[in-house]
A and B are shown apart, each in its own frame.
Chain A
Amino acid sequence: MAASVLIADDDASISRALRFLMQREGHNVRTAADGEQALAAIEGERPDVILLDLMMPKGNGYEICRKLRADRRYDGIRIVMLTAKGGEADQRVGMDLGADAYISKPFAIAEVVACVRAVLACGQERPATRQHAARAAAGIANP
């Protein structure tokens, strides 16, 4: 089933690769190159999933994540964080802010595809379980 996917990444190449993958999955894809563009895109049309890069100009991934989770209107939007930092501590911060999954760059494309499928599949369940499932899908060990 087709979902609306927003890709927010300042690196054009990565953005291009992700767009290819999501389109092949059959989703509707939009892209944003910085924080401002991302927020504008979300306001314009509510996406089902956001692939969100952590380090972007004009509003980084953490800030966007925090904003979305603080706003009732955006309840239910899945957030998959992408980062080139790759630190365990950063992952924890991202999850605490309410991201549904967390993927380190460079990633295997199968990982991204599986992760997006998982968070979309968990759509009907309670947030806690959803998070748990997403983590399991992303191959992250439970603390």
Chain B
Amino acid sequence: MSQSILVAVAVAYLLLLFAVAWLVERGSGRVSRLTGSSIVYTLSLAVYCSSWTFNGGVGKASQTGLDFLPIYLGPTLAFCLGPIMIRRMLRISHANRITSIADLIGARFGKSGGLAALVTIITVIGLVPYIALQLKSISVGFSALSAGFGPAQPASEPMLTDGALWAAVVLTIFAMLFGSRSISPDEHHPGMVVAVALESLLKLVCLTAIGLFVGYGLFNGFGDLFSQAATIPDIQAVFQEAPANYGYNWIAMTFLAFAAIFCLPRQFQVMVVENTDERHLDRALWLFPLYLLAINLFVLPIAIAGRIMLPVDTDPDNLVLSLPLAAGHPELALIAFLGGLSASASMVVVETTALSLMVCNDVVMPALLRIRSLGLENKPDLTRLLLWVRRLVMVVVMALGYFYMRHDSAPFALVSIGLMSFVAVAQFAPAILGGLFWRGASKAGAFAGITTGFLVWFYTLLIPSFSRSGALGEEFIAHGLFGIELLKPYALFGLEGLDPVTHSTFWTMLANIGAFFFVSLFVRQSPVERARAAMFLGVADPDEEARFWRRTALVPDLMSLTARFLGREKAVAAYASFARTRGVDPATAVQADAETVLFYERLLAGVIGAASARVLVGSIVEEESLGVDEMMRILDETSRVIEANRQLEEKSQALEAATTELKAANARLQVLDRLKDDFVVTVNHELRTPLASIRAFSEILRDNPDLPTDERLDFLRIVVTESERLTRLINQLLDLSKIEATGSMPADKASVDLAAVVRESAASMQQVFAQSRVRLAIKIDADPAFVVGDHDRLVQVVINLLGNAAKFSPPGRGKALLALRRAGEHLELSVTDNGPGIRTEDREVVFERFRQLGDTMSDKPQGAGLGLAISQRIVAQHGGRIWVEGGRDGGAVFKVRLKAAHTKATAAGRVRVPAG
């Protein structure tokens, strides 16, 4: 393919990105509406997938099989923890206008400028190889395409015709235009974000296109591809023979990738700084892992196809390009190249932007401000200075990357370089996570952890990388520093057999976490640190920070200071809106209280970092710093208030629960009360009615001595009958109240044979049935049938049921059946009659007290209506159940089910059964 076409396409593509970013920044048209979208936010997160994924992942897969996967498992894991971890990071960063990793760490550990500077320097050193890797990828792709198909060529051309150089220049310009366009305290770059999102979309589409081409263009579907691969022993070996300590590699890789998600400056930039709405995270939490899955879908097929079709000496990192070229499809190769270019470009632009911010805010500006002879504090407008510092830093970073690439990276695969950077930035993970979740983490601990971790990284990864590429002797790697075997950089203290990255990850993290933890334990936190820690862990409200410093200043002083970095217009507008929320007239307020000072400090922090802002504000503020004692007092007070608040909340919840319970109990009581009232009314009625007859006839007999004998006897008979009715009623009431009073079974219970109960009851009811002219049949299928209970009470139940059967069966042709049978673990008694039956809706109420069904009233039944109520209570006390069903020929079937006693051995003896 001719080089000019290639250049033209690449330039056209980059111009398209420029145009999109420019339209968004101008805030016009549909394009600008994209900025507030959670999809764009998610896609911008995919800046994670640099050319390392696009080209390097395939290369890695072709060499070591599934080894490329942990790099995507890590972020997925991080996003699973996202609701806790990432959300907290977002909230804290927004509240404090934190704009970089260095800022975050510095702000957490007492607004430490030194720590922020250390983090920045380590980041730059750690990331230069990573940027170099992207440039290398572009350069390799460019030369491969322009030279047609061929083995990989190291970047050995003269600089001016080197594609990487031109790419570096164009990308630097892009970063300058959209990553440092203006100064604002929130550091949002909507144009850059949308362009990055677009690139993320593009690289996904390109890789998918190549994947489909490989599957269906070069092979007959993926089944064909994999079955062909299975016949080649080389490829089989890759997937079947795991290298030594494979598992450790996976763990290390997954951890590194997990840390990278929040330690890489570009990830922090897109995920935290560019986030405009916390709700966007909700969608990203599941969509981003999905994107990672999608972009990795075709990595393996492409890698295997490369192994099958291309010569062994093909550069594995270039398979995505080489495959379509070898198949005679240069246009597809061009698509692949654009995908790779997208991946590199977005990474480089965002990374340099983030780095320039860090270097400017945390290294250059604090240094410049300290040099009195520059007289910066007297300059009215520093915004231009800030911008140019940033742009200069971008150029320097890019240049470092470029030269590293030309002189160092040649013998390395893309993935190894990337991993080296990952290990470097992973050094921040303990400090960040510790800072977010461990209140005791101290500045000294963070310092110690990061420094030792970095030094170990330097020794075990960076120096050997120089020596391997010839800058240092091979001697160093083979035999260690000064020839001491224990100091071999790839096998420190005799830890052999791990690959360099895993080895380094292990030692750096051991040193880092160990130092961080122990130094934090033993070095006391300063009051400022303590306050910041409380704030980061959500113990103290961010706005309470003002309480920790009694600082006063004059508003005009603060205003002119801020205006120098932010521009007067923005500074005035910001203060005006702040004053409005506090109900202060911005025009007249002169004396700034602690809160106002804090507002200005945060405003400045967004522009030049928390540490520098603190120094600057401190220079014009009268600070009455609190002593340790006072600080402790305030903190104690705060935590006491919080504790009291929590207790209060708990108590009120308990009260609420108690109220609900009381209400329910009250409702129950009201129901019971009403039932009791009903009961009393009914008893009253039932007692008065027979009494009325007795009195009336007694008086009649008294007043009428001349009554005929027949009538007199008749009346006397009524008096006797009604007296009997009254007696029966009183007896039953007593019975009922006794049963209800005990609430449970009588204390001494024995084994009772239900068969005997049945026989006894039937015998004693013989007379009644004879009088009612009803035939009673008995059917006993379980004999003996033991239950635990009270013999007399059970007889009472059966007699009552038999009495009802006798009462309601039609005289003359009445038939009743008393049956006993075993039903599993239970014994079932039933009394069947052929009376009128009981309607379905009445089958429950018949067991209520005084419930005599209306239909039978005309032919007045004997009894008080308490029989079934008493029976039901007796059965319930025996732990059984009584109910009524419809009989086959229209009558009623009353059934009683009781639990059978376990052994017959207990039959004779008395057993105690717990009450209730």
Contact = CB atoms under 8 A, between A and B. Distances in A.
B699 A105 contact: no
B718 A84 contact: no
Interface in A1-19: 10-14, 16-18
Contacts of B703: 109
B699 A34 contact: no
B688 A21 contact: no
A106 B722 contact: no
A57 B690 CA distance: 17
Interface string A13-43: 1101110110010000000011000000000
Contacts of A13: 690, 693, 697, 718, 721-722
Nearest to A55: B685
Contacts of B721: 13
Given A13-B718, A34-B857, A20 B700 contact: yes
Contact of A17 (B681, B691, B700): B700
B700 A105 contact: no
A36 to B, nearest CB: 10
A17 B685 CA distance: 18
A109 B689 contact: no
Contact of A84 (B685, B699, B704, B857): B685
B915 to A, nearest CB: 38
A128 interface: no
A14 B692 contact: yes
Interface in A73-119: 84-86, 104-110
Interface string B662-701: 0000000000000000000100111011111111110110
Nearest to B695: A106
A85 B689 CA distance: 9
B858 interface: yes
A86 B860 CA distance: 23
A17 B688 contact: no
B223 interface: no
A26 B527 CA distance: 111
Interface residues of B, number: 25
Contact of B695 (A10, A11, A55, A107): A107
A58 interface: yes
A84 B697 contact: no
A24 B707 CA distance: 11
B854 interface: yes
Interface in B288-317: none
Contacts, number: 69
Given A58-B854, A108-B699, A11 B693 contact: yes
A16 B699 CA distance: 14
A107 to B, nearest CB: 6
Contacts of A14: 689, 692-693, 696
Contacts of B684: 84-86
Given A10-B857, A34-B858, A106-B695, A84 B700 contact: no
B854 A107 contact: no
A58 B857 CA distance: 10
A21 B695 CA distance: 13
B689 A86 contact: no
A14 B722 CA distance: 10
A84 B681 CA distance: 9
B191 to A, nearest CB: 85
Contact of B696 (A17, A33, A34, A86): A17
B715 to A, nearest CB: 8
Contacts of A24: 704
B650 to A, nearest CB: 48
B854 A105 contact: no
Contact of A109 (B685, B686, B688, B696): B696
B203 to A, nearest CB: 87
A108 to B, nearest CB: 6
B858 A105 contact: no
A105 B857 contact: no
A12 B681 CA distance: 21
B681 A16 contact: no
Contacts of B688: 84-86, 104-106
Nearest to B693: A13
Interface in A54-68: 55, 57-58
Contacts of B700: 17, 20-21, 109
Contacts of A108: 695, 699
A99 to B, nearest CB: 18
A85 B691 CA distance: 13
A48 B718 CA distance: 29
B696 A107 contact: yes
A110 to B, nearest CB: 8
B258 to A, nearest CB: 79
B692 A105 contact: yes
Contacts of B860: 10-12
Interface of B: 681, 684-686, 688-697, 699-700, 703-704, 718, 721-722, 854, 857-858, 860
Top 5 nearest A-B pairs (CB, nearest first) are A105-B692, A13-B693, A84-B688, A17-B696, A106-B692
11 contacts: A11-B689, A13-B697, A57-B857, A58-B854, A84-B684, A84-B686, A106-B692, A106-B694, A108-B699, A109-B703, A110-B699
Given A13-B693, A18-B696, A106-B696, 15 more contacts: A11-B692, A12-B860, A16-B718, A33-B857, A33-B858, A55-B685, A57-B854, A57-B858, A105-B689, A105-B692, A106-B692, A106-B695, A107-B692, A108-B699, A109-B699
